[in-house]
Structure 1
């Protein structure tokens, strides 16, 4: 089970500041709003808050395009507001994990402003510049946000690389000066007292030398070019250098967002003797309901695929690294709409999904509003959407002659704005998020789904999550037990055990609106059993050798063996 550490035992809550709580009526969430709600989060039981970017930014990609890494975005408040937030969190024994976005900066960052002036500018090599090839782009790489990954710049008659928006030029990590700048800005925040970093697309910082044309890869959605900019040749060298120069000097937690990483690679990124990162965010389970052509091309999720993928990661990192556990975040749709049932069985399926996730081995991440069962949204018009990825895709597909209603259906299911609608605090106008006009419309269901309705209701999703978090704190097996899948071929039940010493957890979840019968494999014997949590009323003395699961039912038993 590896070393015992605080970050393995923690539960993380992700805040998307723009949508969390607005205190000055401008329709945009702010730092004071987060400070105001810390007691709500403390009551929930979370240990660490991960704050999506709050740095100065022109907001082309909602703060993931940073123009000054040492300043706070004016819309969110001041450095004093940020310092007060950190102070108030530490007063409550909560930790703060900041977002680190250093694969790219904003094109409005001073480094890039200098870099584009001339080919001999001292900042030129802070970014990746290339001359065109035969009057076209330097290679065929595509941006993750659609279109070419290259932008022509007339000033010096060259192209710069941007794997995301053209306002997000990629930094050149081959340049030791760039790495020094990054380590300096990391140290700046760590010296202010933060407790860790979530590193945005960090496995894209090493590109294959020569930047060759990409081959379309069979069954891979990152094409063309992905094989040359993900998990590149110097990744481990860069992370080990970062660890030696910065991370190792502080008692912090680190998680790297890494699209296209497999468990074998993740063992190298997270191995305790490797001196790189604590854990990674991988995306395999997030791709199971998409066609190989990309996330907007939908296909139904098969539970058997989910079991196979999750189990591969649980077993792949057991005793070798550490998992991060999540089913939604600021880039993903709401999990109850995606993996559960946000209609008839909204309450049951939200609780089931929480149980399924929180009982696994790894550090669980709760995305704001998940603990209330917030759902996807269906705005009538594309005009109501704000996300650059969504808007680019809509335009591209419309121009290609696709049916608008079909494009909108993909957006309803997969668009990132699903996660970004304002937090639903109460039944007042705009869900209590703002007294002004919210930057993104509130989900119309806020009168039914909101925090004030749930905090004092013992049967609510919020209070169920409180119990899940408490179980992790009071039962070591939830953190450190080993994982084993049961019934791999069952089409609707996901069941697994966790084992530590002479204890076992039996976790059984029904991923269906139909009832289903669970049969305990004969290989599992026990002397006594205790029901730890369930999302329906259960006879605690009932047999567990065989029992019927109601729609989206979940149960966790602790067995003495």
Structure 2
């Protein structure tokens, strides 16, 4: 295993709009992040991942970029960004920028120029087309709902948008597009950025001829086009070129967001000998409660399926590739409310999830508010939601599909991205200490009980538990580099695994249920030490454990080299 600083790091994701509002306009900003760097340093994280802070009309909260070289006015100035960078570096931390490569805003100068007819050098920067009958070039659907093509009166043609209609897809088959984007990335690296999170980047290679998606259901409804687009045949040459042109020239690291990727495909992207990417953030484990209809079609969480997915990534990538470890981010509802218990066992659930994920191999990602146990939001009115995907879903479901408001809101309460985007809860004052008392999206009403100030004062809080998990990761090399073996494969409620490095074994046992569980394990060990647990230590032998609801335990065991199996 090649050792690297980014493999040993812990990343904290900041969603700038919702983190801290320093000027009282209701919108989080760069100076607000700077104000809270001491908090992040005390937490023990190594890298600050900034969500997009570029100039944007904010149709998709910054993932629709109109100018990659300017800071969004609402967030501050380039001077504010430079101060934030300097303060992050002064504290010994690093800064990672979110780079949006698949699409721009429709307000980007390239797109404005591409709309013009005639001899237009920018026309081929995007995908334009129209059928002989005046209809869309194909039957593709947007990931945000509805057709993936939008008609433009000026261009007298349709343009492709896999996401919002204000996010036209770039044509990465055009060498000038690629070189322009590489130049943009070098601009930020020259300004001192230490890494990139690459947004939706396995969509860059579109299939030649843009063929129709085949109908996948008996009623002939059009299938989403994702299976035609993810991991396209030119995607690896694109990343190899990107690595040569950009990544290999800087002491930086990359993590690529990729939906629809298996562990075997993930190894192709991250095997260092292929010179493409350092690591991935994938969706497979987060889709385990998605039904045939996708993210809004929720089915019960099935722990054995989740275990098989996580274990596949752990074993397939070991020694060659690398992935990010997460259960929360800006695109996912809060896992505490999704798969745990956010009322009676809120603290236990939050600590259990953190233990299970952070003891695996990979780079852990902590999403803002996760470390204090923030929960999903339940707005009664659709007008209180801001996420473009959520609003599109509501419009289509209550309109075209004639479902009732109450029925659709149940789906939104479970899966809306706005669940993770309410303001960070700093204290119990009006507005949760976020800044303005009237933020861009309403604060979760439970901020008076769940906030950083309360967590700091409670030695048994979720926050202090996260601090200890991070300290353990920095203290024990086995957590970073040890190999992985799943235990109790088919147990419906317990996720147990071991990590092994030389003569040490790390044993991780987590109860994903609100019921007590009895777990029996053979333990050919010489000594055992409980490193951490979310309940008081009972001093039990690990041969038979009585696990309490949502309990997590981690043991460090010393064993003879020939006796490493439980």
Under TM normalisation by the shorter chain, which class is it?
Answer: over 0.9
Shift in CA distance, 146/119, structure 1 to aligned 2, threshold 3 Å:
farther
Q: What is aligned with 1:84?
A: 83
Using the alignment, how far apart are the partners of 2:176 and 2:276 within structure 1? Answer: 20
Residue 355 of structure 2 is aligned to residue 355 of structure 1 = yes
Alignment map for 1:419-438 (pairs within 5 Å): 419-438=420-439
Shift of 1:82: 0.2
Residue 508 of structure 2 is aligned to residue 510 of structure 1 = no
Deviations 1:427-456 (A, max 9, x none): 000100013410000000001000001113
CA contact (8 A) 2:214 2:222 kept: no
Q: What is aligned with 1:176?
A: 175
Shift of 1:383: 1.0
Q: What is aligned with 2:548?
A: 550
Deviations 1:214-243 (A, max 9, x none): 124589x99432122111111000000000
Deviations 1:337-372 (A, max 9, x none): 112100100011100100001000100000000000
Instruction: Please give the secondary structure, in 2, of the residue aligned with 1:9.
Output: coil
Alignment map for 1:364-379 (pairs within 5 Å): 364-379=364-379
CA contact (8 A) 1:132 1:159 kept: no
Shift in CA distance, 222/555, structure 1 to aligned 2, threshold 3 Å:
farther
Using the alignment, how far apart are the partners of 2:406 and 2:436 within structure 1? Answer: 33
Instruction: Please give the secondary structure, in 2, of the residue aligned with 1:499.
Output: strand
Using the alignment, how far apart are the partners of 1:359 and 1:277 within structure 2? Answer: 23
Structure 2 unaligned regions, length at least 5: 560-566
Using the alignment, how far apart are the partners of 1:504 and 1:277 within structure 2? Answer: 30
Q: What is aligned with 2:526?
A: 527
Shift of 1:102: 1.1
CA contact (8 A) 2:239 2:276 kept: yes
Using the alignment, how far apart are the partners of 2:473 and 2:211 within structure 1? Answer: 47
CA contact (8 A) 1:133 1:139 kept: no
Shift of 1:156: 2.6
Q: What is aligned with 1:224?
A: 224
Shift in CA distance, 87/331, structure 1 to aligned 2, threshold 3 Å:
same
> Normalised by the size of structure 1, how large is the TM-score?
0.98
Using the alignment, how far apart are the partners of 2:171 and 2:134 within structure 1? Answer: 24
Shift of 1:70: 0.4
Using the alignment, how far apart are the partners of 2:328 and 2:174 within structure 1? Answer: 35
Answer with 430-439 or 352-361: which moved more.
430-439
> Normalised by the size of structure 2, how large is the TM-score?
0.97
Q: What is aligned with 2:298?
A: 298
Residue 482 of structure 2 is aligned to residue 481 of structure 1 = yes
Instruction: Please give the secondary structure, in 2, of the residue aligned with 1:8.
Output: coil
Shift of 1:317: 1.1
CA contact (8 A) 1:217 1:224 kept: no
Using the alignment, how far apart are the partners of 2:118 and 2:9 within structure 1? Answer: 48
Alignment map for 1:233-382 (pairs within 5 Å): 233-382=233-382
Shift in CA distance, 217/356, structure 1 to aligned 2, threshold 3 Å:
farther
Deviations 1:36-71 (A, max 9, x none): 000000000000011110000000000000000000
Shift of 1:503: 0.3
Using the alignment, how far apart are the partners of 2:292 and 2:196 within structure 1? Answer: 31
Residue 388 of structure 2 is aligned to residue 388 of structure 1 = yes
Using the alignment, how far apart are the partners of 1:216 and 1:460 within structure 2? Answer: 50
Instruction: Please give the secondary structure, in 1, of the residue aligned with 2:398.
Output: helix
Residue 66 of structure 2 is aligned to residue 67 of structure 1 = yes
Using the alignment, how far apart are the partners of 2:223 and 2:170 within structure 1? Answer: 21
Instruction: Please give the secondary structure, in 2, of the residue aligned with 1:155.
Output: coil
Deviations 1:460-502 (A, max 9, x none): 0000000000011000000001111000111111100000000
Paired residues, what number? 556
Using the alignment, how far apart are the partners of 2:154 and 2:217 within structure 1? Answer: 39
Using the alignment, how far apart are the partners of 2:15 and 2:512 within structure 1? Answer: 28
Shift of 1:155: 1.7
Using the alignment, how far apart are the partners of 1:415 and 1:316 within structure 2? Answer: 31
Shift in CA distance, 94/223, structure 1 to aligned 2, threshold 3 Å:
farther
Q: What is aligned with 2:95?
A: 96
Using the alignment, how far apart are the partners of 1:143 and 1:126 within structure 2? Answer: 19
Deviations 1:238-281 (A, max 9, x none): 00000001100111110111111111111110001111111111
CA contact (8 A) 2:54 2:65 kept: yes
Using the alignment, how far apart are the partners of 1:269 and 1:501 within structure 2? Answer: 28
CA contact (8 A) 2:110 2:125 kept: yes
Alignment map for 1:406-445 (pairs within 5 Å): 406-445=407-446
Answer with 222-231 or 440-449: which moved more.
222-231
Instruction: Please give the secondary structure, in 2, of the residue aligned with 1:13.
Output: strand
Using the alignment, how far apart are the partners of 2:253 and 2:518 within structure 1? Answer: 41
